[in-house]
Amino acid sequence: MSPCALSDAALNRLLAEDVPFGDLTTESLDLTGRPGRLEFHARGAMTVCGAEEAVRLFMLAGAMAHLVTPSGATVDNGTVLLTAEGSADTLHRAWKTAQTLVEWASGMASGAAALVHAAAPVPVACTRKNAPGTKALSIKAIQSGGAIVHRLGLSETLLVFAEHRLFLDEPPGVTIARLRNRQPEKKIVVEVGSEDEALTWACVGADVLQLEKFTPAALRACRECLEAEGLHPVLAAAGGVCVDNVANYVAAGADLIATSAPYSAAPRDVQVRFFKVG
């Protein structure tokens, strides 16, 4: 079972956003305390993510819940994802928050899985361009789909953009040497926008070149140029790579796909079935 990406405190905040002062409809219908159960079913094929968080949401709302299908599983239409039992008020309190969370996270996981399948055997690495405030569950979602993390944030990786170089008044070789001396454990990644820039930074020792918005043809030409000079940095295709064109980048010689596409994948549909008990 995958661990919850969100703490109880974070999950309680989600519940409070949806039910800040009680459930007016359920309370007005006098349904509090009436026993029931529900099931989450996949409505269509998907790669599942967020089922563990959904189970915990029901438990925090006061119901009992049981995980049936964990994050990372690829399922068909109709597959049961989880079940929950409790009073009608506890089930209704968590219902929509849990459903929406699973649909949204499973959309990202399914989008990542589609990219991973289309790019095989080249790894797909997802960037830090997730929706603000959603990093923990976004990372779980892309990993559930088989992708890896490109950058969790600015604190753990070296990636030199043109926007950094704008402020430098030194040759590229000096920049690489300074980074190598300051951070000897780290790979040095440089984003480039042309074949000439790629050659310049490869010649001075960049470990990885992030090829921003190169076409597949331009990527192939860049690889051939570098190899002709005896240079073999890792080439990461970035910018505009999606499930429809990723195979072209792989065929052109990309060593890595860097993308944010899964973060904007459409949610997957989850059907929730309620049952009256007794």
Contact 20, 78 (CB under 8 A): no
Q: Which residue has the tokens 């994802």?
A: 81
The span from the CA of 231 to the CA of 164, in Å, is 24
Q: What is the per-residue pLDDT across 175-190, written as a single tens digit (0 to 9) for each?
A: 999 999 999 999 999 9
Q: What is the per-residue pLDDT across 26-46, written as a single tens digit (0 to 9) for each?
A: 999 999 999 999 999 999 999
Q: Coil, strand, or helix at residue 41?
A: strand
Please state, for a pLDDT cut of 90, what percent of the chain lies above it. Answer: 98
Q: What is the per-residue pLDDT across 201-220, written as a single tens digit (0 to 9) for each?
A: 999 999 999 999 999 999 99
The span from the CA of 25 to the CA of 233, in Å, is 61
- Angle (deg, nearest 10), helices 195-203 and 216-228: 30
Cα distances (angstroms) measured from residue 164 to each of 64, 149, 159, 172: 52, 22, 9, 12
Q: Note the pLDDT of residue 19.
A: 94
Read off the pLDDT of each residue in 13-37 and give the average, rounded to a whole number: 94
Domain boundaries defined on the chain: 8-110+266-276, 117-264
Q: What is the mean pLDDT of the chain?
A: 96
Contact 50, 137 (CB under 8 A): yes
- Comparing CA positions, the residue from 169, 136, 146 lying closest to residue 50 is 136
The span from the CA of 89 to the CA of 86, in Å, is 8
Range 8-110+266-276 has CATH code 3.90.1170.20: yes
Whether 64 has a pLDDT exceeding 80, the answer reads yes
Q: Note the pLDDT of residue 174.
A: 98
Q: Note the pLDDT of residue 2.
A: 81
117-264 belongs to which homologous superfamily? Answer: Aldolase class I (3.20.20.70)
Radius of gyration of the chain (CA): 23
Read off the pLDDT of each residue in 265-276 and give the average, rounded to a whole number: 97
Q: Note the pLDDT of residue 1.
A: 58
Read off the pLDDT of each residue in 63-73 and give the average, rounded to a whole number: 98
